[in-house]
Amino acid sequence: MQRGDPAWIGYVYAFTILIGVVFGVLCEAQYFQNVMRVGFRLRTTLQMCQSLHTIWSAPLRIIVALVLLYQLLGVAALLGALMLVLMFPVQNQYQHSKAEFLRTQPPDTQLTEEQMEERWLQSVGGHTSLMFCGCLQRL
């Protein structure tokens, strides 16, 4: 703009710059939205592929580990694996009794999960410690 030019020309330039910046911001926001959407879809796809890879490879890894343990430890490795398999029902019972215990707690206590876990362990721990003390006394 030169001296002596009408002021409205400056306003037109300023308005044109404003429109250009607003258009640029809108295009950049749309671009960012599309990139994030594609990124989330890609990440979900990659996680699914990793999960599928784990599904077929986990049994193979377990078998290889058991064979190697059997070669090193002999029958003790098989007994350890058997104990691991036999512990599944015990863990299931533990989870059910824990859920039942947490369900019986009054809702107005507003305890955190950590406090509920502590109460659960105290209630179970009392029975366990009594059994353990009885075994020690017999020895």
**Per-residue pLDDT tens for 48-71?**
877 777 788 888 988 999 999 999
Q: Is 134 within the bounds of a domain? A: no
Tokens for 73, please give them: 């430890």
Q: Tell me whether residue 60 is in a domain.
A: yes
In a domain, 113, yes or no: no
What sign for the dihedral angle of Cα 73, 74, 76, 80? positive
- Nearest by Cα to 99 from 83, 116, 82, 112: 116
| Domain contains 138 | no
Inside any domain, residue 104: no
| pLDDT confidence of residue 134 | 55
User: Is 106 a member of any domain?
Assistant: no
Rounded-to-integer distance, Cα 98 and Cα 5, Å: 83
- Cα 20 to Cα 7, 31, 33: the distances in Å are 20, 16, 20
Q: Is residue 50 part of a domain?
A: yes
Helix (H) or strand (E) holding 13: helix 7-73
Counted domains in the chain: 1
Compute CA distances 64 → 12, 67, 73, whole Å: 76, 5, 14
Please report whether residue 127 resides in a domain: no
pTM more than 0.95: no
Domain range for residue 59? 1-73
Confidence of residue 10 (pLDDT cuts 50, 70, 90): confident
Average pLDDT in the 111-115 region? 68
